[in-house]
């Protein structure tokens, strides 16, 4: 099966290339950029002698003629326009941006951009495989979830769906490495401002807030707006979310862990940690795993849930390939069985 990547020179794009280069079924047909037509290794020398394809301009007609699947690793605002060109040509599209995830009104409010046309948005399946596998299987257009929503939703789903928590009590404290912001230089992510520092950003205005809320509401219509706060960690890859919720009734940590294990036991990329152990970011780096640990505090009546992912893998390119596998009728883990990089 032939695949093409648009936005290959970005961090999401080059991570797609790393995965797809060694995927046994998908073959990279072409890689695209708005920049010079140079071999990708000139832009990313770690690919020297591994991958010598040249970057090509974005000619939708040509890409559609030669590919079965197109990955869009392009910014919000651009992805939507590109997606419509391919969907009309009956090509499978997986979009890593936020363009297809939200209803028009929410998109305008939180992304402060023009939304895509409803006729396109309505064709998109939300690409969180653990909870939407059947729809993904039958769709040609995937809205790949945001990195923070992936970690947050996977950690909250069991207790929200089982109606075990006060629906007005959700607080998500999220931290991301700097690669989450993409390759462009900004003061925030520069070495001198990120290194040996820890910053909060987009307080109460992060664009992933409505994405988290809309999915939680589908699972439990009582859910109230969540408090979601993002921080920048002085590391390259990885996300940790620490989520606090109030339990409706007392449950022990072991009962809740049992619920999580039961719900996720057939999900290849979810690892529920044993009691009194909590995941750290390095334990999933470079892999497509989402690791979850939790503790119920009988003193406060609150449950603390920790989840970690690699933002470029399960938070972006890894999940995109997981979705492509599902859409193509392949084993979901195909080409994604990376052991995390440790230390």
Contacts to ligand X2W from residues 33-92, by CB under 6 A = 76
- Binder of ligand X2W out of 1, 181, 235, 263 (CB under 6 A): 181
List, in sequence order, every residue forming a beta bridge with 19; answer none if it has no partner: none
Size of the site for ligand X2W (CB under 6 A): 11
User: In whole angstroms, how close is the CB of 151 to ligand NDP at the nearest point?
Assistant: 11
* Length of the chain in terms of residues written: 343
Instruction: Spell out, one character per residue from 222 to 251, where the chain touches ligand X2W: x when CB under 6 A holds, - when not.
Output: --------x-x-------------------
280 burial (CB, 10 Å; 0-12 / 13-18 / 19+) is: middle
93 binds, among ligand NDP, ligand X2W, none (CB under 5 to 8 A by kind): none
Cβ within 8 Å of residue 280, ≥6 positions away: 240, 308
User: In whole angstroms, how close is the CB of 96 to ligand NDP at the nearest point?
Assistant: 4
- 255 cis-preceded (ω within 30 degrees of 0): no
148: tokens are 């923070």
Does position 319 interact with ligand X2W (CB under 6 A)? The reply is no
Cβ nearer to ligand NDP, comparing 213 with 303: 213
Q: What angle do CA 58, 334, 292 make, to 5 degrees?
A: 105
Cβ nearer to ligand NDP, comparing 8 with 139: 8
77 binds, among ligand X2W, ligand NDP, none (CB under 5 to 8 A by kind): none
- Binder of ligand X2W out of 5, 64, 147, 151 (CB under 6 A): 147
322 binds, among ligand NDP, ligand X2W, none (CB under 5 to 8 A by kind): none
Cβ nearer to ligand X2W, comparing 129 with 158: 129
207 binds, among ligand NDP, ligand X2W, none (CB under 5 to 8 A by kind): ligand X2W
User: In whole angstroms, how close is the CB of 176 to ligand X2W at the nearest point?
Assistant: 4
Instruction: Spell out, one character per residue from 158 to 177, where the chain touches ligand X2W: x when CB under 6 A holds, - when not.
Output: ------------------x-
185: tokens are 């230089």
Cα→Cα distances 113→83, 104, 257, 306, Å: 16, 10, 41, 32
240 binds, among ligand X2W, ligand NDP, none (CB under 5 to 8 A by kind): none
Annotated active-site residue 147? The verdict is: yes
Cα–Cα distance measured from residue 74 to residue 94, given in angstroms and rounded to the nearest whole number? 11
129: tokens are 């495989």
265: tokens are 């036991």
Among 217, 10, 2, 205, smallest CA distance to 97 is for 10
Cβ atoms within 10 A of the Cβ of 339, count? 8
Cα–Cα distance measured from residue 208 to residue 307, given in angstroms and rounded to the nearest whole number? 16
Among 316, 10, 324, smallest CA distance to 141 is for 324
| Site residues for ligand NDP per CB under 6 A | 7, 9-13, 33-35, 58, 73-76, 78-79, 96-97, 146-147, 179-180, 182-184, 311-312, 315-316
User: In whole angstroms, how close is the CB of 65 to ligand NDP at the nearest point?
Assistant: 19
* Options 147, 272, 285, 303, the catalytic residue: 147
Cα–Cα distance measured from residue 225 to residue 205, given in angstroms and rounded to the nearest whole number? 12
Cα–Cα distance measured from residue 293 to residue 39, given in angstroms and rounded to the nearest whole number? 43
Q: Where on the chain is the footprint of ligand X2W (CB under 6 A)?
A: 76, 97-98, 146-147, 176, 180-181, 207, 230, 232
Mind telling me the catalytic residues?
147
């Amino acid at each position: 099966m032939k695949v093409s990547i648009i936005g290959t020179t970005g961090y999401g794009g080059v991570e797609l290339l790393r995965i797809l280069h060694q995927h046994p079924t998908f073959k990279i047909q072409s890689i695209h950029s708005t920049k010079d037509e140079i071999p990708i290794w000139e832009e990313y020398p770690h690919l020297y002698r591994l991958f010598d394809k040249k970057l090509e301009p974005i000619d939708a007609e040509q890409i559609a003629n030669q590919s079965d699947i197109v990955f869009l690793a392009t910014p919000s605002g651009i992805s939507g326009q590109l997606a419509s060109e391919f969907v009309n040509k009956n090509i499978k599209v997986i979009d890593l941006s936020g363009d297809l995830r939200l209803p028009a009104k929410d998109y305008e409010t939180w992304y402060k951009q023009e939304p895509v046309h409803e006729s396109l948005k309505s064709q998109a399946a939300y690409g969180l495989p653990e909870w939407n596998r059947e729809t993904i299987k039958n769709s040609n257009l995937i809205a790949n979830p945001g990195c923070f929503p992936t970690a947050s939703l996977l950690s909250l789903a069991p207790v929200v769906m089982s109606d075990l928590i006060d629906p007005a009590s959700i607080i998500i404290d999220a931290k991301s490495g700097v690669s989450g912001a993409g390759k462009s230089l900004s003061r925030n992510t520069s070495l001198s401002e990120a290194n040996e520092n820890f910053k909060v950003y987009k307080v109460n205005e992060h664009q992933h807030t409505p994405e988290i809320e809309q999915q939680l509401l589908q699972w439990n219509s009582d859910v109230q707006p969540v408090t979601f706060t993002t921080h920048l960690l002085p590391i390259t890859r990885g996300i940790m979310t620490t989520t606090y919720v109030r339990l409706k009734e007392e449950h022990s940590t072991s009962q809740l862990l049992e619920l999580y294990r039961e719900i996720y036991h057939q999900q290849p990329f979810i690892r529920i940690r044993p009691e009194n152990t909590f995941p750290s970011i390095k334990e999933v780096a470079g892999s497509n795993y989402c690791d979850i640990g939790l503790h119920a505090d009988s003193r406060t009546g609150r449950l603390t849930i920790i989840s970690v992912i690699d933002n470029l893998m399960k938070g972006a390119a890894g999940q995109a390939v997981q979705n492509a596998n599902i859409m193509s009728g392949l084993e979901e883990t195909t080409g994604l069985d990376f052991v995390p990089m440790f230390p």
